[in-house]
Amino acid sequence: MTRLSININKIATLRNARGGNMPDVTKAAMDCEAFGAEGITVHPRPDERHIRYSDVYAIRPLIKTEFNIEGNPIPKFIDLVCEVKPDQVTLVPDAEDAITSNAGWDTIKHKDFLTEVCKEFKSKGIRTSIFIDAKPAMAEGAAIVGCDRVELYTADYAENFPKDPEAAIKDFLATAKRVRECGLGLNAGHDLNLQNLNYFIRTIPWTDEVSIGHAVICDALYMGLESTIKAYLKATKI
């Protein structure tokens, strides 16, 4: 069974655009769970342009399912994660000025750094996932540094899916197989939506978790948040 984690960053973006506390990010996190989400993901960035560090502290005690914090493991982020102790941390190599995540880690080039970071988080009992591109060598490198899972960066899959689903998923399937052979868990995320999600899950049914935010909020504008989450939950079923 593939778990659905809802990334609530875009809800925080809407709040921050106006100031005040509308919409309420902590209530949104609880509502997503109440509507069936099997996890909540947040991605605090250094400039706090959407999720703020204070949001992470506020949300943590409210989450009953799984709490996943993703981000670039700069010192401030590492301190936050070690203090909050989420169920999972996802390491993403974002530049500080990145609009959104746009690449996975080179787990070979950054072997020493990632090994150190994984060791730190795992010593706190936090499951550690590394964001990677769809390249089997990156999965092998992730296994060497000592993480528990990888998250496949699925932007290329989503972009190419409308033209040729089978071709779009080819590299992802090959990488997912290598991930499994390396004994790692498998997550996926970025630009997954109601059009391409089910095909991904049916082709790679050992996917442990998908993290989806932007598409969920876009669909919720028309369908409502509860109906949207239920539609995504249905799409994760084979």
Q: Supply the residues annotated as catalytic.
A: 43, 70, 190
Q: How far apart are CA 200 and CA 172, in angstroms?
A: 9
Which runs of E-coded beta strand occur in the chain? 3-7, 39-42, 67-71, 88-91, 127-132, 149-153, 185-189, 209-212
Q: Return the half-sphere exposure (C-beta side, CA atoms, 13 A cut-off) of residue 38.
A: 13
**Which tokens sit at 177?**
């197989």
Q: How far apart are CA 43 and CA 9, in angstroms?
A: 7
Q: How many CB atoms lie within 10 A of CB 67?
A: 23
AA identity, residue 34: A
Which runs of E-coded beta strand occur in 1-62? 3-7, 39-42
Q: How far apart are CA 160 and CA 149, in angstroms?
A: 25
